[in-house]
Structure 1
Amino acid sequence: MKNAFVIVVLIVFSLSAKAQTRSLFSFKNFDGWHIDVPALDNNPNGKNPFILRNGMLVSLADPQGHIITDSVYENYRLEIEYRFAAKPGNCGVILHASTPRVLYAMFPKSIEAQLMHKNAGDFWCIGEDISVPDMEKRRGPKKNWGSVDGKERRIVNLTDKSEKPVGEWNTMRVECLGDQIKVWVNGDLVNHGFNCTVSKGQIALQAEGSEVEFRRVDFTPITQLSN
């Protein structure tokens, strides 16, 4: 009887945990998100770089900009399935976004988890900052560090061999808890930052450099980072 009770408790706990996971994107409309594309400021009827196609969210790369959640989030796991369908290029997941257009009159204040082909999992500091082990090896001389234009904003990931070939689906998992951010690509831990200068904000996806398809954007509240 005791064993049966334990099994029931575990099943209920498992179902409860799964129930907390939800998609941040409906893939039917843009509800819960807004688009910030500087090129549309003076031409609101211009080309929107974010479209829905075949049940996917597609970033067309041009004109450049972001699609941003209306809500602010903290302490969560984000799982994104994406692929460069035609040719390799650049894109990113923006974490803890706040003030819009603080860099190059386009990028919001944030920490970026890079999706760029062969560089997935790099951190880019955009008006915010984060630390990792072996900082000078992965970011360059300390005197050059910074989070504004002209400074060393890139923190190189731990492996560039985790991505799949162009055209195949990749999974990026990001866990943000307190002042830490962990990033996995296809199951490999590729970055772990701490002492982040921000712990909450909006989430955004980029239009930058190449067409990218997204078929999953799952969100789960968390209380403890995974190993």
Structure 2
Amino acid sequence: MRRITLALFFISIAFFAQSQTVNLFDGKSLAGWYMDVPDLQADSSLRIPFIIRDGLLVSLGTPQGHLISEAEYENYTLELDYRFAGEPGNCGILVHASTPRALYGMFPKSIEVQLMHSNAGDFWCIEQNIEVEDMEARRGPKENWGVNGKKLRRIKNLTDDSEKPLGEWNHIKIRCDADKVTVWLNGDLVNDGFNATATRGKIALQAEGAEVEFKNVMLTKL
């Protein structure tokens, strides 16, 4: 009887853990997401930059804009796989996204986790702020810090060699816990921020010049 009770206990734990994890991309549609693409809004004849191809979510890179979750989230872990489909370039994942087009008439107010080739794991402050250890070494002179315009908004990641070779899939894990944002890339800790000025918001994927494929977009509530 005790073995049966323990087995049921562990099964219930596993079921609870699974129930806290949601798949944000069903492999067939953009259900649960919407686009904010300024140039496409101005000219509907332009191509749509976010598509489904072979069961993958694809950012074509242009026209530039964002694919934004309809729901807001707080206290979660986001994990997904990504790779550059052709030439390497720029892209990012935005967490705690809120006010649309808050920077340069394009970027929503948020904290960006950079995916740009050779810079994956950097933080970019977009009308929100976050801190890290060794802040001046990784961000530059304190008097130039800021969250908009030409201020120093980039906070460099902790490693230089965590990305896979081009064409291979990278696995990124982003943990948002209260005012902390922690990022792992292919198992390596690449950034660890605290005192974030936002703790809740939407999630956004960028179209920022390069074609990027995404799969296994999973969110687990903490």
**Shorter-chain TM-score tier:** over 0.9
TM-score, normalising length: structure 1: 0.94
2-structure distance, mates of 1:139, 1:7? 50
2-structure distance, mates of 1:176, 1:199? 8
Give how far 1:60 is off: 0.5
**1:33 and 1:67 in contact (8 A); partners too:** yes
Alignment of 1:47-126 (within 5 A): 47-126=47-126
Number of the residue aligned with 2:18: 18
Q: Which moved more, 1:11-20 or 1:206-215?
A: 11-20
2-structure distance, mates of 1:15, 1:89? 40
- Residue by residue over 1:132-171, the C-alpha shift from the partner in whole angstroms, topping out at 9 and shown as x without a partner, is 0000000001000000011000000100211100100000
- Residue by residue over 1:11-40, the C-alpha shift from the partner in whole angstroms, topping out at 9 and shown as x without a partner, is 321232023212112221122111000101
- Residue by residue over 1:46-87, the C-alpha shift from the partner in whole angstroms, topping out at 9 and shown as x without a partner, is 211111100001101011000001111111110010001212
Number of the residue aligned with 2:216: 216
Number of the residue aligned with 2:137: 137
**2:25 and 2:215 in contact (8 A); partners too:** no
1-structure distance, mates of 2:39, 2:28? 25
- AA aligned to 1:145 is W
- AA aligned to 2:198 is V
TM-score, normalising length: structure 2: 0.96
Q: For structure 1, which runs of at least 5 residues remain unmatched after alignment?
A: 223-227
- AA aligned to 1:125 is C
Is 1:176 matched up with 2:176?
yes
**2:34 and 2:67 in contact (8 A); partners too:** yes
Alpha carbon RMSD of aligned pairs, Å? Answer: 1.2
- Residue by residue over 1:86-145, the C-alpha shift from the partner in whole angstroms, topping out at 9 and shown as x without a partner, is 121110001000001111110000000000111111000000000000000000010000
1-structure distance, mates of 2:38, 2:107? 10
Q: Which moved more, 1:139-148 or 1:12-21?
A: 12-21
SS in structure 2 at match of 1:130: coil
1-structure distance, mates of 2:7, 2:161? 40
Give how far 1:190 is off: 0.6
1-structure distance, mates of 2:160, 2:53? 29
